[in-house]
Structure 1
Amino acid sequence: MSLNLVENIRHHGFKRLLLAVSGGLDSICLAHYFIENSAALGIEWLGIAHVHHGLREGTADRDAKFVEEFAKSHDVPFFLKKLDGEALKNAEGSLEENARDARYKALVEIALNKKWRSRNGVRDDIEEGGVTIAIVTAHHAGDQAETMYMRLKRGTTLAGLRGIQEVRIIQDDTSLVSRLSSLVFLYRPFLNVTRKELLTYARENGLSWCEDESNADVKFARNKIRHEFLPNLERECPGAIQQLCKIAGLADRAYAKVMAKCSRSFGFAQDDTRGFPLTSASPQDDASLVSRLSSFVSLDKKKLNKILREYADADLSEMFRLWLTEKGFRFPIGFFYGPKEPAHVKIPVRAVYRRRSVVKIAHTVWICEFKDALSAAKFVSCEKKEKDYNEST
């Protein structure tokens, strides 16, 4: 597998890597592979990061110690981040999803910590004013198949059919990346590597690893799919797992073409030259609302309507939603759809979804992301009328 991986990894051109290592088979193979092939891969710097979730007594400490010793034995910088396990358990939503989100946030914090970057010889790009780091995880073909199975089971869109992405830019709610003028990529180079291949690699290189007992607990949805549903599917339909991974690749290529078309179409209507509209009678309220604004995109209403009318026979609402998603504004499926409405009024005049809002003011459609749901609702329900809108803003 080394020759194929080397070519692919060098193609992406990542020079500074933070390897996310849990201590399990997959991540230990990942760490060993990148350490042993760092020269061939053109890597300037790499470090190992371990996130302790605080959810398992005893074995979690064992895993952290194991990874630390592995890093030291290979003379690689090691970074440990401990999370509040009780807070994760008590938070709303799925424990799996909460732990995953907290883990990625911790990895980003490590990657963007200027102190350890300077202490460990990670040179910032002075000319560009920032640093590019790739957080590398050991997701493999089995993880891809599990993700595809979960999404197909519950229903998904073209975007969801892409499964786990090999490379993506990490965007967080605090805009930490943009504030620090840095780019943090999430890179998964093993997506086409099977667990069987990883086992072979580990044995050939005399590697040892830790087993996380929680991975066998089928009360977690992904574990149940891994240990029960997918093995049953593979027995009934040999090659099904491989086909799920193939579908993800095909969908990814199709999605890229769709998004290119969306960019050409909806990009025509985008106009971010106008400043954010002031909406209330109180300057203090305006200032407070603007301070809670994370990001926005503004569209010329006439140009947008022209695009929608041009394709009146084809509902573009889903393409519009996908285009906004790529820009960081997530809305649910069907949010922009009105079956009895003509194409040019499918964009809501005033609507809100969680922290995101859509508002038409005079000749502009504003799509906004706020730091909290209350601010988004306040912006949508503001009493300012279109005739009061100052076009100079």
Structure 2
Amino acid sequence: MSNPPPSFLESTRNKIKQNGWKRLLLAVSGGLDSICLAHFFVTHKADLGIEWLGIAHVHHGLREGTADRDAEFVKVFAAQNQSQFFLGTLDGEALKAAEGSLENNARDARYDALRKFAHENRADAIVTAHHAGDQAETVYLRLRRGVSLAGLQGIQSVRLLATDTDLPHEAVFLYRPFLDVSRKELQEYARDNNLDWCEDESNSDVKFTRNQIRHEALPTLEKLHPGATSQLVRIASKTVSAYERILTIADKLFLPLVISRDDGLTLDTKKGKISLKNGMDEIFRLWLDRQGYRFPVGTFKGKALLNDIRNLSYRTRFIEKKRNIIRICEKKASADI
């Protein structure tokens, strides 16, 4: 990718045009990947049909000295490339003290900060530098933990990053154009374009799950089975295609049953006799996930027909059934259906 092939530039332009994006916010940490991302978009801004580019950096408050260096480095890069710069500063001690893993807490807080900058500047999408290595790590991690078909898609190139209120007009897209680009290709791009970047020493700390996979698990797997990393990326790509085909079929089966989307999703089973045998229970679960109602794998296992589903709950989601009417909602309704 020293000089991106015309096909890459074309596919990126098509994706941006297809979504109608004109204003993009680039998430730039200062590392190799994100500096290549920023350079590529700044250089090809006109070619890509972009009207406004902003560069955002999030300081997590977790590293002394080098974190300040990274923030200043990105600020200078933005100024040199005539791009607006936005700096988000997080409370590192609060991230450490919060429940859950530090890794996940930092990621969620980072996206919240980026989303805030995107809203304030009417950005259509936040662009991140996730690449093929990140995709392989994600698929490997999910396989290790256990995963459904949806999870095997890995990192999606485009997804909606909803707000806490989940109002569509306040949502913003996440866009990852480098998912098929290897780190080696990014290194070549940086070398050929004389780019400098910052090294984050925390990226080598294997107490973090991602780093352990990156520096130990995947290199071992690659040594035992050369090409395994690229196969993990290929699995994600193939699964995306298969998943979309399955959901298209599911739409044909289940959409005709939908009689209302007011305050939840309401289905009338009299409108079609749907079998849940032979894996259709999982397809129904995946379809509900696409509608915004996630339930765990196996929720509908053992049901012969859609009409066999009974009342159940999972976290904040409920399914209520009365005769032939099935209602799926985020919180239990006070009135009978």
Summarize deviations over 1:330-380 as a string: whole Å, max 9, x none: 11111222x3x432444232x2211111112454322112xxxxxx3xx27
Equivalent residue, structure 2, for 1:286: none
Choose which of 4, 7, 10 in structure 2 pairs with 1:7: 10
Classify the secondary structure of the residue corresponding to 2:25: strand
Change (3 A) 1:336 1:92: farther
Equivalent residue, structure 1, for 2:266: 298
Classify the secondary structure of the residue corresponding to 2:257: coil
Choose which of 219, 222, 243 in structure 2 pairs with 1:231: 219
Q: Do residues 38 (structure 1) and 45 (structure 2) align?
A: yes
Equivalent residue, structure 1, for 2:83: 76
Equivalent residue, structure 1, for 2:177: 189
CA distance in 2, matches of 1:98, 1:191: 23
CA distance in 1, matches of 2:310, 2:65: 53
Choose which of 94, 97, 112 in structure 1 pairs with 2:101: 94
CA distance in 2, matches of 1:155, 1:261: 25
Change (3 A) 1:210 1:359: same
Summarize deviations over 1:129-173 as a string: whole Å, max 9, x none: xx6611100001100111111111111111111111111122233
CA contact (8 A) 1:336 1:348 kept: no
For structure 1, which runs of at least 5 residues remain unmatched after alignment?
118-130, 277-295, 370-375
Q: Do residues 267 (structure 1) and 255 (structure 2) align?
A: yes
Classify the secondary structure of the residue corresponding to 2:163: coil
Displacement after TM superposition at 1:231 (Å) = 0.8
CA distance in 2, matches of 1:307, 1:99: 47
Count of aligned pairs between the two proteins: 330
Classify the secondary structure of the residue corresponding to 1:267: helix
Change (3 A) 1:316 1:132: farther
Change (3 A) 1:86 1:336: farther
CA contact (8 A) 1:265 1:307 kept: no
Choose which of 292, 303, 307 in structure 2 pairs with 1:328: 292
CA contact (8 A) 2:132 2:233 kept: yes
Displacement after TM superposition at 1:63 (Å) = 1.2
Q: Do residues 171 (structure 1) and 162 (structure 2) align?
A: yes
5 Å-filtered alignment, 1:94-113, equals: 94-113=101-120
Equivalent residue, structure 2, for 1:139: 130
> What is the identity, as a one-letter code, of the residue corresponding to 1:263?
D
Classify the secondary structure of the residue corresponding to 1:268: helix
RMSD of Structure 2 on Structure 1 (CA): 1.9
Summarize deviations over 1:38-95 as a string: whole Å, max 9, x none: 1222211111011112222222222111111110111100111112222222222222
Classify the secondary structure of the residue corresponding to 1:342: coil
TM-score between both structures, scaled by the size of structure 1: 0.79
Choose which of 293, 300, 304 in structure 2 pairs with 1:342: 304
Displacement after TM superposition at 1:234 (Å) = 1.0
Choose which of 50, 57, 60 in structure 2 pairs with 1:53: 60
Equivalent residue, structure 2, for 1:221: 209
Displacement after TM superposition at 1:35 (Å) = 0.5
Summarize deviations over 1:300-319 as a string: whole Å, max 9, x none: 2433xx342xx354342211
CA distance in 2, matches of 1:363, 1:173: 33
Classify the secondary structure of the residue corresponding to 1:89: helix
Choose which of 237, 241, 246 in structure 2 pairs with 1:253: 241
Q: Among the aligned pairs, what percent are the same residue?
A: 55
Which protein, 1 or 2, shows the higher relative CO under an 8 Å CA cutoff with sep ≥ 6?
2
